[in-house]
Amino acid sequence: MAAETAVGIAAPRARLALLLLLAPALVWLVGLIVLPHLELAVLSLRARVAPRVYELSLGQYRTFIDEPLYWHTFVRTAGISILATVCTLLIAFPAAWYIAKLARGRARSVLFVLCLIPFWVSETVRTLGWMILLRESGVLPRVLVDLGITPAPIEMLYHDATILAGLVYTSLLFMVVPLVSALESLDDSLIEAAYDLGGTGWSILRQIVVPHAAPGIAAGSIVVFMLTLGNYLTPTLLGGKNSLWFTEQIYTQFITRFNWEQGAAFGFLLLVLSTAIVWLGLKLTGQHFGDVMRRS
Amino acid sequence: MQQDLEVERVTKRYGIQTAVDALSLSVAHGSFFSILGPSGCGKTTLLRIVAGFLVPDDGDVWIGGRSMRGVAPNRRPVNMVFQHLALFPMMTVGENVGYGLARRGAARAEIAGRVDAMLKRVGLPGAQDKRVDQLSGGQRQRVAIARSLVLEPALLLLDEPLGALDLKLREHMKIELKQLQADFGTTFVYITHDQSEALVLSDHVAVMNAGRFEQVGTPQELYYQPRTPFVAGFVGANNRVAGRAVRIDGDGVELATADGLAVRARMSGTIAAGDAVEAFVRPEVVHLAREAAELPSLAQRFSGRVESLLFDGANSAVLVREERTHAEIRIALPQTGRFADLEVREKVAFGFEPQRAVCFRAGSHGS
């Protein structure tokens, strides 16, 4: 009897405690993500017909389709982001393999820290560092001249390749971490068994390692792709005025043009684009979102 | 007779530690050969050298009459069943069994046919499309063996494959393994630390200790004629009595323990009077009686009290403490039920024939 009463009192209390613990996360989700997006949705769907008079309109979305610059930028941003994700994966995979399977003890933590070190510096400073290295009067063009490879210093900034390099550099850690945890869980004896049964390095990679690491690969790719697609600083600084990055268009609409309705529509299009590409990627590789998120 | 596997003075060192020490062995075609030893004795290292995952510092391995020096694991006519089986979880049972054939570039129809036939032979007909995690422990075992045997290797290496199974299944799989081996006629090299697995399964067993073989022989030889104290102590249950040889009489030795217990046993190797020696007496060799007069005439006789009763069905035994020296000895209970009413603290007589106990010079090793 006494015990029942105790439970009866404890249950609402426990519920209250749970609610309090969840409160920060709920405030964050509802207040900073859901509400602004609802507001943006409303903004993107209205047109100003007179001062302080608005009506429902798809005009903003029509502008996006009618103006080739906008959707060119849109496609270009998606294309470079996918390319950057693929490059990051190709560079991160051997590194993750080495950390997960070959490095032991101290070497392993040192390597992890090496991956982390770039993140101790703010992204702005890091990107400015790239600019110091790559601009026409910078370190790398001068070294190329000194070595006699180029007759005069060349401008290495403001190329698509530069943007790509900057994006890959920024994203590497977010690919390495899920890959390391995915590869760590791969039993070495599976690789030995495959080798014992006649497998070769390439076939084992394709048939044993990659299928095992697939959720980790997908998790890393999603994170990197999202970060790249939504990146503003790196493409703007390394690509200059011609970088034509979609986040830049959004910034311009909101800040320079003060056209919040158009900016909101672009923001929504970016959200739809990233969701669609991630969904397509998961479908094409036969992965499930739940599995992937558990790995990341 | 053709030797499927010959290992010639193979040595492997890790730093200052010698894992495998100038070891030689040969395994005849079609036989079931076990390497038995405690963990850390180097048996896994030896197996991995044969499979090609480790390169020996010295010596050579010959498989089917061909030297394996510089031959990678995926090119050796050897396949291995791993300790935790290492079935590929990302593939179906059929793909697991067909993996090796596919790697050899066999045609799809041929792979399907041979996988089907192999699964039938191991008692899993039609299991091709099952996922690995849908199988029971015993079925996985069979898939792991099928996956190797479908490649028709000259030699199948098994690295304690029963270690992860529970006792009941392990007993069952022991019998199944032996039947599979007899059925396929493939040479099996099996490593284990479980002496009962080695004795039940093998045609020949090598007992390994500290990187060397202590003795190689049939299970019966190892059990009845151990050549070193290690083998006597490791294979089967045994009572160990350590002391000094006081008298040598033909092939008989009389030894005295520090407590003054005098025991006679058959001599193995060479022993001189005064040497430190160890004698081993199997629990089933010792006769137990309520009165000394009931013991056979040849036996040397002792009296003592029952210390504890160890009931284990057919393997039941008693621990008896010798009256004068308090030495403890394990005695197997006969299955006649004559001692069913034996009680702790009860006074008993026991004895054994000296010829059925064996005595070594202390610390002697195999060749």
Phi, psi of A136, rounded to the nearest 5 degrees: -55, -40
**Which of A173-177, A241-245, A287-291 is predicted with the least confidence, judged by mean pLDDT?**
A287-291
* Strands in A238-292 per DSSP E: none
CATH number at residue B169: 3.40.50.300
Q: Which of B230, B257, B286 is the last residue of a domain?
A: B230
For a pLDDT cut of 70, what percent of chain A falls above it?
95
**Would the pLDDT of B69 be above 60?**
yes
Does the distance separating the beta carbons of B90 and A211 come in below 8 Å? Answer: yes
Measured between CA atoms, the residue of chain B closest to residue A207 is B90
HEC readout, B270-294: CCCCCCEEEEEECCCCCEEECCHHH
Q: Are residues B263 and B325 in the same domain?
A: yes
Does the distance separating the beta carbons of A197 and B79 come in below 8 Å? Answer: yes
Q: Pairing mode, if any, of strands B204-209 and B32-36?
A: parallel
Does the distance separating the beta carbons of A198 and B74 come in below 8 Å? Answer: yes
- Convert the pLDDT of each residue in A126-179 to its tens digit: 889 989 998 888 889 999 999 988 888 888 888 889 999 999 998 998 999 999
What pLDDT is stored for residue A296 in this prediction?
A: 56
In B269-328, the residues whose Cβ lies within 8 Å of chain A are none
Interface test with B, best of A187, A189, A195, A197 (most B CBs within 10 A): A197
User: What is the average per-residue pLDDT within A19-40?
Assistant: 88
Interface test with A, best of B49, B99, B140, B158 (most A CBs within 10 A): B99
**Would the pLDDT of B360 be above 70?**
yes
Does the distance separating the beta carbons of B82 and A193 come in below 8 Å? Answer: yes
What pLDDT is stored for residue A3 in this prediction?
A: 47
Which residues contact residue A155 at a Cβ distance below 8 angstroms, ignoring those fewer than 6 apart?
A135, A136, A141
**Would the pLDDT of B366 be above 80?**
no
Report the number of secondary-structure helices (H) and strands (E) in chain B.
8, 20
Q: Tell me if the domain spanning A56-185+211-295 has CATH number 1.10.3720.10.
A: yes
Does the distance separating the beta carbons of B73 and A203 come in below 8 Å? Answer: no
Residue corresponding to tokens 């399964």: B201
**Would the pLDDT of B240 be above 70?**
yes
User: What is the average per-residue pLDDT within B117-146?
Assistant: 91
What pLDDT is stored for residue B246 in this prediction?
A: 92
Contact of B326 with B289, CB cutoff 8 Å: no
Measured between CA atoms, the residue of chain A closest to residue B151 is A197
Q: Are residues B206 and B223 in the same domain?
A: yes
The CA-atom distances, in angstroms, between B213 and each of A120, A157, B42, B160, B207 are 57, 69, 10, 18, 6
What pLDDT is stored for residue B300 in this prediction?
A: 86
What pLDDT is stored for residue A207 in this prediction?
A: 92
Question: Which of B53, B72, B100 lies closest to A197 in CB terms?
Answer: B100
Chain B residue numbers touching A187 (CB-CB < 8 A): 84, 86
Q: Which of B210, B230, B250 is the last residue of a domain?
A: B230
**Would the pLDDT of B358 be above 70?**
yes
Chain B residue numbers touching A197 (CB-CB < 8 A): 74, 79, 99-100, 103, 147-148, 151
**How many angstroms separate the CA of residue A195 from the nearest CA in chain B?**
5
Does the distance separating the beta carbons of A193 and B103 come in below 8 Å? Answer: no
**How many angstroms separate the CA of residue B241 from the nearest CA in chain A?**
43
Q: Are residues B190 and B336 in the same domain?
A: no
User: What is the average per-residue pLDDT within A228-251?
Assistant: 88
Does the distance separating the beta carbons of A212 and B90 come in below 8 Å? Answer: yes
Domain that holds residue B282: 237-361
- Convert the pLDDT of each residue in B313-323 to its tens digit: 888 999 999 98
User: What is the average per-residue pLDDT within A222-250?
Assistant: 89
Q: Which of B230, B259, B274 is the last residue of a domain?
A: B230
Does the distance separating the beta carbons of A196 and B80 come in below 8 Å? Answer: yes
Residue A286 has a CB neighbour count (10 Å cut-off) of: 9
What pLDDT is stored for residue A8 in this prediction?
A: 54
Chain B residue numbers touching A205 (CB-CB < 8 A): none
User: What is the average per-residue pLDDT within B87-99?
Assistant: 94
Q: Are residues B168 and B275 in the same domain?
A: no
User: What is the average per-residue pLDDT within B122-139?
Assistant: 91
**Would the pLDDT of B111 be above 90?**
yes
What pLDDT is stored for residue A10 in this prediction?
A: 66
Q: Is B73 on the interface with A (CB under 8 A)?
A: yes
Q: Are residues B258 and B133 in the same domain?
A: no
Measured between CA atoms, the residue of chain A closest to residue B76 is A196
What pLDDT is stored for residue A288 in this prediction?
A: 79
- pTM as predicted: 0.81
**Would the pLDDT of A50 be above 90?**
no
**Would the pLDDT of A4 be above 70?**
no
Residue B193 has a CB neighbour count (10 Å cut-off) of: 18
DSSP string, B189-225: EEEES-HHHHHHH-SEEEEEETTEEEEEE-HHHHHHS
Q: Is B83 on the interface with A (CB under 8 A)?
A: yes
Q: Is A200 on the interface with B (CB under 8 A)?
A: yes
Residue B320 β-bridge partners: B306, B329
Helix (H) or strand (E) holding A181: helix A160-184
In a domain, B367, yes or no: no
In a domain, B102, yes or no: yes
What pLDDT is stored for residue A228 in this prediction?
A: 94
Question: Which of A197, A200, A212 lies closest to B151 in CB terms?
Answer: A197
User: What is the average per-residue pLDDT within B232-239?
Assistant: 90
Q: Are residues B89 and B185 in the same domain?
A: yes
Task: Work out the pLDDT band at B350, boundaries 50, 70, 90.
Answer: very high
The mean pLDDT value of chain A amounts to 88
Does the distance separating the beta carbons of B80 and A200 come in below 8 Å? Answer: no
ipTM comes to 0.82
In a domain, B206, yes or no: yes
User: What type of residue sits at position A87?
Assistant: C
Question: Which of B53, B84, B147 lies closest to A197 in CB terms?
Answer: B147
For a pLDDT cut of 70, what percent of chain B falls above it?
99
The CA-atom distances, in angstroms, between B47 and each of A37, A172, B79, B151, B178 are 63, 40, 11, 19, 20
In a domain, B366, yes or no: no
Establish, for the pair of chains A and B, how many residue pairs have beta carbons separated by less than 8 Å: 57
Q: Are residues B242 and B217 in the same domain?
A: no
**How many angstroms separate the CA of residue A171 from the nearest CA in chain B?**
29
Does the distance separating the beta carbons of B51 and A199 come in below 8 Å? Answer: no
Chain B residue numbers touching A196 (CB-CB < 8 A): 51, 53, 73-74, 78-80
The angle at the Cα of A224, spanning A219 to A230, to the nearest 5 degrees, equals: 130
Contact of B278 with B256, CB cutoff 8 Å: no
Q: Is B152 on the interface with A (CB under 8 A)?
A: no
Q: Is A195 on the interface with B (CB under 8 A)?
A: yes
The angle at the Cα of B232, spanning B226 to B238, to the nearest 5 degrees, equals: 135
Q: How far is CA B280 from the centre of its chain?
A: 18
What pLDDT is stored for residue B22 in this prediction?
A: 92
Tell me the domain boundaries of chain A.
56-185+211-295
**Would the pLDDT of B298 be above 90?**
no
Q: Are residues B51 and B142 in the same domain?
A: yes
Residues counted in chain B: 367
Task: Please return the burial class of A51, using the count of CB atoms within 10 Å of its CB with bins 0-12, 13-18 and 19+.
Answer: exposed
What pLDDT is stored for residue A295 in this prediction?
A: 59
CATH number at residue B241: 2.40.50.100
In B38-67, the residues whose Cβ lies within 8 Å of chain A are 51, 53
In a domain, B310, yes or no: yes
What pLDDT is stored for residue A180 in this prediction?
A: 93
The torsion defined by the Cα of B161, B167, B170 and B175, in degrees rounded to 10, comes to: 150
Does the distance separating the beta carbons of B88 and A193 come in below 8 Å? Answer: yes
DSSP B253: E
Q: Is B105 on the interface with A (CB under 8 A)?
A: no
Question: Six-digit token pair at A88?
Answer: 């990051």
Question: Six-digit token pair at A108?
Answer: 């392993």
User: What is the average per-residue pLDDT within B192-199?
Assistant: 92
Q: How many domains does chain B have?
A: 2
- Residue A107 CA to residue A116 CA, distance in Å, equals 14
- Convert the pLDDT of each residue in A79-93 to its tens digit: 999 999 999 999 999
The torsion defined by the Cα of A94, A96, A101 and A103, in degrees rounded to 10, comes to: 100
